[in-house]
Structure 1
Amino acid sequence: MFISTHIQCWRAMVYLLYDLILFVASLFLVPYAFIKGLPYGNSLKGVCQRLGFYSGFDLQALCGKQVFWVHAASVGEVRASFPLIKALKDKFPESRIVLSGMTFTGQQVACEAADVDLVVFSPFDLSLVVKRSFRLIQPDVVIIIETEIWPNFIRIAEENSIPLVLANGRISKKSFPRYLSIKSLVKPLLEKISAFAMQDATCARRIKALGAPPELVQVTGNMKFDLPVSMPGTVAILDDQVKKKLLAGKFVWVAGSIRSGEAEILLQCHKQLISRGIPSFPIFAPRHPGCCISVAELLKKEDIPFALRSSLGKEKKGGEEVQILLVDTVGELTKFYALADVIFVGGSLVPVGGHNLLEPAQQGKPVLFGSHISNFKEISRLLLACGGGIKVGSGDELVSCLVELYRNEQLCDQMGQAGLTLIRENVGATEKTLSSICRILESKK
């Protein structure tokens, strides 16, 4: 009894200290969030929602309805939630779906989801803010996408008897040691979650090692396999005139989600392809639109004629022929993937851990990526095994692969079909996750 009381007091002190630290941090984070939102035109709304204030008009749609609150971090997690959101709406057509995200780009993508009734910014993890958010939204179930372990959010949901589901759960190789070092703090939080739908056996093993109850952990697969596919030729991202002017007769390769330090490598790849007589036309899509400025400066410094996606169709006639398209918009990457002959996934030539490999595979195109792919280790293994992807260790290796694929159209087709076959063979994660949610709802009755 004494030990139990001692532990409860210790945890209460930890939460109090956590709140105090967050309160001090919020004095800087709130102004930062306001300034960060200025280019997106929703600064004030973003700050208000992060503090748990929502308009009465928005909340009216939730009154008296069954509410599913889906919480995602950024663009990747938001997109991963789409199949589950659709499945929830199909299963519970009278329900209301609230989708929250942490980033402004994530918010933009969230607004694309047809089945979402309310898109909000995630609340700051201060006790008072989280309590207010739960009181106003009144969710029946909270679904956390991938790995968003916010102490107050999880604790207060459990205190209000709101079931929590970790969907498309992932514990990366990089984050696992960090979580393990604070297992005494993480374990009590994981014990408050009702179900863990993990992407693969490795992630399931890691979440158990951190303290998740083994009987609640299930390997459901990756819901990104269930995302609808926009096949090449069906997406009108560029009008015919612009497409003909830029891409006709060119070897188009898209470098998606590129990170700091990669643009220099990729630009050298382009130069080497040109020197070999290959009509290279790369489309560079930085992971964050703000990074376009530094990439644009690099291209200007190297005297490479380029066009910004946002400026297409507005250029003056004449001038040098554009060699590179720089994507400075949000939410269009998969559409540009559909235009490519070959796709390279960024964040993998530098030690970032890589980005989503399934989106390019869904387009039926060869998928190339670097050796730093720890965030998508299992998917990269599957792509390599089926012949849908190639791992490159350097810029020179990337050039060699691009040259081979340019010269071998049959190999391109074979790799693209292998990726599509992999997608078809691994669908079903959404249905398994939905079943877990339904079981939880049944147990509440």
Structure 2
Amino acid sequence: MPELTPSLPASAVPAPSRPGEALRWALFRALERLSDLRGNNTLGAFSLAPADARGPALWFYVTTIGELNAVAPMIEWLTAQRPDLRPVLITEHAHYREAYLARLPQAVVCISRGHSSDARRLARMLPPAMLALAEIPCLPSEAPCRFSYAFLREARRCGAATLMLNGWLYHYDPPARLDQLERRLLERDFLGAFDVLCVQDAETARALEARGAPRDRLQVTGNMKFDAMRRADWRVEQATRSPRLLGDLLATDRPVIVGGCVTELAEQHQVLGAFERLRRTHPRALLILAPRHPENLERMTALLAQLGEAGLVVARRSQLADGALAPQVQCLVLDTVGELRDFYAAASVAHVGVDHNVLEPLGLNKPLTIRGGWDTTYPSYPVYRLLRDRGVLHECDDEATMCDYWLAAIDHAPRIAEDLRRTEEALASMRGSVARHQAACAAWIRR
């Protein structure tokens, strides 16, 4: 995949702020203070784990475990290049803290909803020498998460190198009035504050350039997920939380269906219907069902009620020790955060819910089913579109066809082997983004 522009030279220096930036920032801060008086919900969310962390840092904005997994090779590479810097993972979701620290134990997790006071406080405690924005958002409040210009501005004030990784556009409108004002006032300053902007495709690069990104800092580097999700050498010892449970599943001859991020009730109903059909032939089959956002009590209650109506013997991962699963359990609900990608390794066949990450099971060479009807604004869509266009995704929109494909996978039908061969061929042709990211960012590692 060609670059839009040549890589930056090692002697590159940060560009100055755009004329009038200080005035625009002062105006935005006045508006933010006014919002504080009216009950700004971004205020008061700041926390650090561990709370006493101090020293020079490498800031990463990674709003969810999905973004962390997507850019993990670059996070690992950057932290290896700068072992003198403490990695700081910034997110607005406190429930990801445990999963983040399981993946990167030496990191500090910063919880913030993007208030400018949080950025100043973090810079005092852990001043950044580098900041990397992991995939989203490419514009202020352009995604269902909030990385504010304040963090970029503080990073620049500290002299940090600033990197955008795996950039892609959601095309969302800002959800709140203050977010709308931030984009209107500071969008060009936001884009101009990055030393290098690595984006997934030329379309994204053109869109960002039209909105004010400096052309000479844009790099088309492809989608890092094709590299990050490749796990052909996965071993059970790598599982951070359930090695004994996974080892037992891998050693058993039970057919295992792993349904990842199956959240909508209609899709859950289809998966359960297909599993009921499957059990007529394979009565010992196990369904591992991972709902999106298990912390959402309303959704979990609805799912458990649905499983009860299906008459399945259910266990919840959060209530089990790490050990062999009781043989009478027919459905394991994976109501934990950060474990799904390891549980795909135990799958005889996987199903990924609409709008979620198909590369996690495909990276483990697992047969896969999906439903159609994906949303073009989701970050999973570019991967879905590329693989759909290559004809390697198996869409099943009813219980019967889904069950038929699962049976073929369990019985090792020749067509499944051919599907996996064609899928790996397609995936291999799309890899290489990590190396392109490294080349684009190398000049800024030790500025």
Is the pair's TM-score, using the shorter chain for normalization, greater than 0.5? yes
Q: CA deviation at 1:80?
A: 2.3
* 1:138 to 1:329, Cα distance in 2 relative to 1, 3 A: same
Residue 330 of structure 1 corresponds to which residue in structure 2? 337
Residue 254 of structure 1 corresponds to which residue in structure 2? 258
| CA distance, structure 1, for counterparts of residue 398 and residue 28 of structure 2 | 46
Residue 270 of structure 2 corresponds to which residue in structure 1? 265
Residue 86 of structure 2 corresponds to which residue in structure 1? 96
| CA distance, structure 2, for counterparts of residue 27 and residue 379 of structure 1 | 34
Counterpart secondary structure, 2:381 = helix
Q: CA deviation at 1:362?
A: 0.7
| CA distance, structure 2, for counterparts of residue 102 and residue 241 of structure 1 | 30
Q: CA deviation at 1:111?
A: 1.0
Residue 120 of structure 2 corresponds to which residue in structure 1? 131
| CA distance, structure 2, for counterparts of residue 55 and residue 278 of structure 1 | 50
**CA offset digits 1:330-382 (Å, max 9, x no partner):** 22212210111221111x1xxxxx11221111110123222233322331233
Letter in 2 for 1:325: L
| CA distance, structure 1, for counterparts of residue 213 and residue 350 of structure 2 | 37
1:34-45 equivalences under 5 Å are none
Q: CA deviation at 1:255?
A: 0.8
**CA offset digits 1:205-249 (Å, max 9, x no partner):** 3333433222221111222233375448832646489946x9955
Q: Structure 1: which 5+ runs fail to align?
A: 34-46, 349-353
Instruction: Indicate conservation of the 8 Å contact 2:128/2:158, yes or no.
Output: no
Q: CA deviation at 1:397?
A: 4.7
Q: CA deviation at 1:178?
A: 8.2
Partner residue of 1:343 out of 334, 343, 350: 350
| CA distance, structure 1, for counterparts of residue 268 and residue 191 of structure 2 | 39
Residue 313 of structure 2 corresponds to which residue in structure 1? 305
* 1:333 to 1:139, Cα distance in 2 relative to 1, 3 A: same
Structure with more of its chain in helix, by fraction: 1
* Identical positions, percent: 24
Letter in 2 for 1:138: P
1:380-399 equivalences under 5 Å are 380-386=384-390, 388-395=392-399, 397-399=401-403
Q: CA deviation at 1:393?
A: 4.0
How many residue pairs get aligned? The number is 405
Instruction: Indicate conservation of the 8 Å contact 1:69/1:97, yes or no.
Output: yes
Q: Which moved further from structure 2: 419-428 or 250-259?
A: 419-428
Instruction: Indicate conservation of the 8 Å contact 2:94/2:111, yes or no.
Output: no
Residue 227 of structure 1 corresponds to which residue in structure 2? 228
Question: Aligned pair 1:87/2:77, yes or no?
Answer: yes
Question: Aligned pair 1:77/2:67, yes or no?
Answer: yes
* 1:224 to 1:108, Cα distance in 2 relative to 1, 3 A: farther
Residue 435 of structure 1 corresponds to which residue in structure 2? 439
Q: Which moved further from structure 2: 337-346 or 215-224?
A: 215-224
* 1:367 to 1:23, Cα distance in 2 relative to 1, 3 A: farther
| CA distance, structure 1, for counterparts of residue 43 and residue 373 of structure 2 | 31
Residue 377 of structure 1 corresponds to which residue in structure 2? 381
Letter in 2 for 1:337: Y
| CA distance, structure 2, for counterparts of residue 152 and residue 119 of structure 1 | 19
Instruction: Indicate conservation of the 8 Å contact 1:204/1:217, yes or no.
Output: yes
Residue 156 of structure 2 corresponds to which residue in structure 1? 158
Instruction: Indicate conservation of the 8 Å contact 1:232/1:338, yes or no.
Output: no
Q: CA deviation at 1:144?
A: 0.8
Counterpart secondary structure, 1:254 = strand
Counterpart secondary structure, 2:75 = helix
Q: Which moved further from structure 2: 18-27 or 250-259?
A: 18-27
| CA distance, structure 1, for counterparts of residue 441 and residue 412 of structure 2 | 47
* 1:368 to 1:72, Cα distance in 2 relative to 1, 3 A: same
Partner residue of 1:171 out of 161, 164, 169: 169
Question: Aligned pair 1:117/2:124, yes or no?
Answer: no
* 1:385 to 1:342, Cα distance in 2 relative to 1, 3 A: farther
Q: CA deviation at 1:313?
A: 6.6
Counterpart secondary structure, 1:70 = strand
| CA distance, structure 2, for counterparts of residue 382 and residue 164 of structure 1 | 29
Letter in 2 for 1:48: S
| CA distance, structure 2, for counterparts of residue 23 and residue 407 of structure 1 | 64
The structure showing larger relative contact order (alpha-carbon pairs under 8 Å, at least 6 residues apart) is: 2
Instruction: Indicate conservation of the 8 Å contact 1:127/1:152, yes or no.
Output: yes
Q: Which moved further from structure 2: 83-92 or 140-149?
A: 83-92
Q: CA deviation at 1:48?
A: 3.4
| CA distance, structure 2, for counterparts of residue 329 and residue 203 of structure 1 | 34
| CA distance, structure 1, for counterparts of residue 310 and residue 51 of structure 2 | 49
Question: Aligned pair 1:416/2:420, yes or no?
Answer: yes
| CA distance, structure 2, for counterparts of residue 181 and residue 21 of structure 1 | 13
| CA distance, structure 2, for counterparts of residue 241 and residue 156 of structure 1 | 43
Question: Aligned pair 1:145/2:134, yes or no?
Answer: yes
* 1:358 to 1:75, Cα distance in 2 relative to 1, 3 A: same
Q: CA RMSD in A?
A: 3.7
* 1:432 to 1:196, Cα distance in 2 relative to 1, 3 A: same
